[in-house]
């Protein structure tokens, strides 16, 4: 072979190696980061949709908490919990994400002129009423009445005691008994304060000193003794009231129960269904605590009132969403002209890669044909092509495998633990892309090795063209 032809063969093999290396990278890109099926498949395989769902839950919770001043105590937590935990599901996130991924890639690959990304909110709105209802039904009673007037710390009505009403028949009776004992104690304390205030020093001291003789002490001594034994005297007044005025205490207790019930059970006259349902629930609780209502009756009325509140909150949440949130939210509507130009440049670049993914393999085949035309030697074509494939495949395979193994350890941890799952998802995308590149390079190496073996067999005449033709 002449020097000129040898140089030509060398140039062809160099170009072949470069074209194969370029084709390997470009085709791997087309099979991974530029393939919507690869993106959605990786998202599903790596629980990416669950990660997005959890991120959206955090966003919803933060948004509702930041708007807490304008969100009523009943609807706010219920709406936050329902939308975050039930209305926005991983299945919904996957559906919307995949739809936008495919829209985005059809634009990048030039199959549509304009990029339109949007989120369909109808599934969320359709689920929110049921989700809010379930959230309200599952909330504890203490949370349900946390902001009602029945939770004033200066009264014996408190969330813990009211919550005990719904825990069962025994707890219901215990809560009612403790409430009455507490209220009776408050009445006794008030009467004891009145008695102490109107009694003379002699009357006060006579309660705590046996055979008390008022003439045995001066007024100054009496004042000093009253001051020293005030708590004991007050306790003595309270005990005397309990033992000598029991019927009066019963009447006062009944009157106090009536007053408390009338003050904390307003008639639900508001047009707002949520207010009506909340008032009804409060009335049931206070009535159960302050009357002789049986547990069976209380439980039935409480269950019905809570169901009404859940339905009212669910309906209002759905109504608010339908009025405040459009059925379809465009993610690209507010893009600036500069943003659109940048996206257009990205689309142009992707389409160039699309073209190169066809051009480079065709160029490689053309160079193989040119090598055959120039040498008319099958062994030269086999050896040259085989070594080119090995020269591309083996180094790329080794680098891709090493990078895939070391990538998770090379990247620093996320600055915020809450976004660590997003970091992990990015690493998973990169690792899977390197895996595809590595497996593709390994296939090229195997093909190259087979061609080299075939070329050697031809060169050393273990296999001849005549034998191949006869076979």
Query: What is the average per-residue pLDDT within 211-222?
Result: 89
For the cut 50, the answer to whether the pLDDT of residue 68 exceeds it is no
Q: Return the minimum-mean-pLDDT range out of 17-21, 211-215, 391-395.
A: 211-215
Lowest mean pLDDT among 97-101, 114-118, 317-321: 317-321
Confirm if 103 and 115 have CB atoms less than 8 A apart: yes
Residue 234 has pLDDT above 80, yes or no: yes
For residue 148, what pLDDT is reported? 47
Please name the residues in contact with 247: beta carbons below 8 A apart, sequence gap of 6 or more.
Answer: none
| Long-range contacts, stretch 336-344, CB < 8 angstroms, 24+ apart | 340/115, 343/107, 343/115
The encoded tokens of residue 291 equal: 């009357």
Q: Identify whether the C-beta of residue 60 lies closer than 8 Å to the C-beta of residue 461.
A: no
Secondary structure class of 120 (helix, strand, coil): strand
Confidence grade of residue 67 (pLDDT, cut at 50, 70, 90): very low
* pTM for the predicted model, two decimal places: 0.66
If you count them, how many residues does the chain have?
471
Percent of the chain with pLDDT over 70: 85
Q: What would the DSSP string read from start to end of 323-391?
A: HHS-SEEESSTT--HHHHHHHHHHHHHHHHHHHHHHHHHHHHHHHHHHHHHHH--HHHHHHHHHHHHHH
DSSP designation for 87: I
Q: How far apart are CA 8 and CA 397, in angstroms?
A: 29
Answer whether residue 61 shows pLDDT above 80: no
Per the model's pLDDT, the better-predicted residue between 78 and 429 turns out to be 429
Please give the residue that has the higher pLDDT: either 253 or 372. 372
Annotated domain spans of the chain: 1-34+355-471, 145-308
Within 139-272, residue ranges assigned H as helices are 141-144, 159-164, 169-198, 201-206, 219-228, 230-244, 246-264
Average pLDDT over every residue of 164-169: 84
Of the given ranges (48-57, 85-94, 347-356, 461-470), which has the lowest mean pLDDT?
461-470
Query: If you average pLDDT over every residue of the chain, what do you get?
Result: 84
- pLDDT of 176-208, one tens digit each? 888 888 888 888 999 999 999 999 999 999 988
């Amino acid at each position: 072979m002449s020097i000129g032809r040898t140089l030509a063969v060398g140039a062809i093999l160099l170009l072949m190696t470069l074209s194969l290396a370029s084709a390997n990278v470009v085709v791997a890109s087309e099979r991974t980061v530029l393939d919507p099926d690869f993106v959605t498949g990786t998202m599903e395989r790596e629980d990416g949709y669950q990660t997005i769902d959890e991120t959206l839950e955090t966003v919803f919770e933060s948004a509702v908490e930041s708007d807490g001043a304008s969100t009523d105590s009943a609807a706010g937590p219920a709406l936050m919990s329902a939308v975050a935990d039930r209305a926005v599901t991983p299945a919904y996130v996957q559906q919307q994400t995949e739809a936008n991924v495919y829209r985005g890639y059809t634009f990048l690959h030039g199959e549509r002129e304009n990029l339109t990304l949007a989120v369909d909110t109808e599934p969320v709105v359709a689920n929110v009423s049921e989700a809010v209802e379930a959230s309200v039904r599952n909330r504890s009673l203490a949370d349900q009445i946390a902001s009602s007037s029945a939770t004033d710390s200066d009264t014996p009505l408190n969330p813990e005691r009211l919550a005990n009403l719904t825990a069962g028949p025994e707890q219901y009776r215990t809560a009612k008994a403790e409430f009455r004992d507490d209220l009776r104690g408050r009445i006794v304390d008030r009467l004891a304060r009145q008695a102490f205030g109107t009694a003379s020093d002699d009357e006060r001291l006579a309660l705590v000193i046996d055979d008390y003789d008022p003439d045995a002490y001066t007024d100054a001594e009496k004042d000093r003794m009253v001051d020293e034994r005030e708590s004991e005297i007050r306790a003595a007044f309270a005990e005397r009231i309990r033992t000598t005025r029991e019927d009066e205490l019963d009447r006062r207790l009944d009157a106090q129960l009536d007053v408390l019930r009338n003050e904390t059970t307003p008639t639900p006259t508001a047009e707002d269904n949520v207010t009506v349902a909340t008032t009804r629930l409060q009335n049931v609780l206070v009535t159960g605590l302050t009357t002789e209502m049986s547990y069976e009756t209380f439980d039935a009325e409480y269950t019905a009132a809570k169901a009404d509140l859940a339905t009212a909150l669910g309906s209002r949440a759905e109504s608010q969403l339908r009025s405040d949130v459009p059925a379809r939210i465009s993610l690209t509507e507010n893009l600036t002209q500069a943003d659109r130009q940048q996206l257009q440049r990205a689309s142009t670049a992707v389409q160039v890669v699309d073209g190169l993914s066809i051009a480079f393999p065709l160029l490689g085949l053309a160079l193989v044909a040119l090598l055959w035309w120039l040498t008319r030697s099958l062994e030269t074509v086999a050896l040259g092509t085989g070594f080119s494939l090995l020269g591309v495949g083996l180094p790329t395979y080794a680098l891709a495998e090493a990078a895939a193994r070391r990538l998770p350890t090379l990247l620093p941890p996320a600055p915020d633990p809450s976004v660590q799952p997003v970091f992990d998802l990015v690493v998973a995308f990169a690792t899977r892309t390197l895996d595809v590149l590595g497996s593709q390079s390994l296939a090229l190496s195997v093909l190259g090795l087979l061609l080299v073996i075939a070329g050697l067999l031809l060169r050393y005449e273990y296999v001849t063209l005549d034998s191949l033709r006869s076979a």
